[in-house]
Amino acid sequence: MRVTQSMLSSNMLRNLSNSYNKMGTLQEQITSGKKITRPSQDPVVAMKGIGYRTNLDKVEQYQRNLGEATNWLDSSDDALDKVGLALQRVQELVTQASTDTLTPDDRLKVQKEIAQVKEQIRDLGNTKVGDKYLFSGTKTLEPLFVGGSVAGESSSPLPGTPTNIAYTNDVSIEVYDNVEIKVNSNGYEVFHGIENVLNDLETVFLATPNSGSDFDGFLGEISNLQNTVLEERADIGARQNRVEMMENRLSTQEVIVTKQLSNNEDIDYEKSITELISQESVHRASLSVGSRIIQPTLVDFLR
């Protein structure tokens, strides 16, 4: 084959431009840390990348949701703990009141304290975290107790049912695909029960005359109330366990998805830099070969 200067120079140009292209791709890979920047470089990687990103976003979001769930459960548990303590105080006071050595005046003093405890329990029933009332079911912007009665109840005397069923509704949070955890406690049931007993107690206290035996039934009722609160807390505890388990699962999931995402589209720096260096030397070689090949012709030697 007859070889001419133009062939050599066009070949050299093409080789150089191929070499530049390869270096450009490597440079792009190294600066972005990604194997590909456009789908055509590897359609499978691109397609999977979209899926993995979505999965990763999901895991991140579910972790955030879990934080929210933890917040609900911890706050509810804390409030119910305080309700339990308050009930304990009521128990002590009623025990005291059931002693026949107490005068009606003394009992009136005890009643005053119980009235205070009742107020305290109502305050606990209106516990807020951020903007939300924890025990108002899905009516989170409305307090459970309004003006001394349970909100939404049609009328005294108790017991009644809430006019708005929303007060007894569950609030749940999604913590994984189609996995929802109920995060509130049934405040209406608990506080409504306590309110009933305490109201009855008040009636007895205020009745004249009253004797120690009038309070006999109440100790049992109070202990029932304490049990209800404990049951609710046990339920919260169980749900906290689920949340923790989910947290563990999600952090494992996060590691897995991040790894998949990384395996799918991140470059191996050692490999890419090595490739860049070898490509650089190829490029230098083709430049120097080019300068040698193009230069001399017969023209340089004829005189």
Partner 1 sequence: MRSTFMGLEASKRGLFTQQSALYTTGHNIANANTQGYSRQRVNMQPTLGYPGTGLNAPKTAGFIGTGVEAHSVQRIRDGFIDRQYRQETNKLGYWESRSQAITQMEDILSEPSEFGLNESLNQFWKSLQDLSTNPENAGARKVVIQRGTAVAESFNYIHTQLSDIQANIKNELRVSTKDINSMLEQIASLNGQIAAIEPNGYMPNDLYDARDNLLDELSEYFPLEISYDKSGGGALDIAEGIVNVSIQTKTGAIAVVAGKDFSEMTTSLTSTETYEDYGQITFSSVGNATGGNYAYSDMPINKGKILSLIDSYGRGPAGAEVGYYPSMLENLNDMAKAFADEFNSVHQSGFSLPDELTGNSSTGLNFFEDGSGGTAITAANIIVANNLLTNPSLVAASNANAEEGNGQNALDLSNTKFTQLTVGTTTNTTVQTFYQSIIGQLGVDGEQANRLTYNSETIKMAVANNKASVSAVSLDEEMTNMITFQQAYNASARMITVVDETLDKIINGMGRVGI
Q: How many residues lie near partner 1 (CB under 8 A)? A: 57
CA distance linking residue 297 with residue 303, whole number of Å = 13
CA distances in angstroms from 238 to 81, 169, 227, 269, listed in the order given: 15, 19, 16, 46
Q: Are 85 and 203 in contact (CB under 8 A)?
A: no
Residue 51 sits in the site that holds partner 1 (CB under 8 A): yes
Residue 154 sits in the site that holds partner 1 (CB under 8 A): no
Which residues are registered as beta bridge partners of 179? 176
Residue 11 sits in the site that holds partner 1 (CB under 8 A): yes
Q: How far is the CB of 130 from partner 1 (least distance, A)?
A: 8
Q: Which residue is it, tokens 């339920």? A: 235
CA distances in angstroms from 116 to 85, 87, 188, 192, 202, listed in the order given: 14, 12, 20, 17, 12
CA dihedral (41, 44, 45, 50) positive or negative: positive
Residue 258 sits in the site that holds partner 1 (CB under 8 A): no
Stretch near partner 1 under the rule CB under 8 A, chosen from 58-66, 120-128, 212-220, 235-243: 58-66
Q: How far is the CB of 234 from partner 1 (least distance, A)?
A: 24
Helix (H/G/I), strand (E/B), else coil: 15: helix
Residue 132 sits in the site that holds partner 1 (CB under 8 A): yes
Hey, what are 23's tokens? 């270096």
Residue 89 sits in the site that holds partner 1 (CB under 8 A): no
Helices (H) and strands (E) in the chain, counts: 6, 6
Q: How far is the CB of 183 from partner 1 (least distance, A)?
A: 9
Q: How far is the CB of 61 from partner 1 (least distance, A)?
A: 5
Residue 303 sits in the site that holds partner 1 (CB under 8 A): no
Residue 295 sits in the site that holds partner 1 (CB under 8 A): no
Q: Which is nearer to partner 1, 58 or 89 (CB)?
A: 58
Residue 50 sits in the site that holds partner 1 (CB under 8 A): yes
Stretch near partner 1 under the rule CB under 8 A, chosen from 22-30, 31-39, 89-97, 247-255: 31-39
Residue 259 sits in the site that holds partner 1 (CB under 8 A): no
User: Angle at CA 27, nearest 5°, toward 46 and 291?
Assistant: 135
CA dihedral (69, 70, 76, 77) positive or negative: positive
Which residues contribute to the site for partner 1 (CB under 8 A)? Answer: 1-7, 10-11, 14, 36, 38-47, 49-51, 53-54, 57-58, 60-62, 64-65, 68-69, 130-132, 136-141, 164, 166, 169, 171-174, 180, 265, 297-299, 302
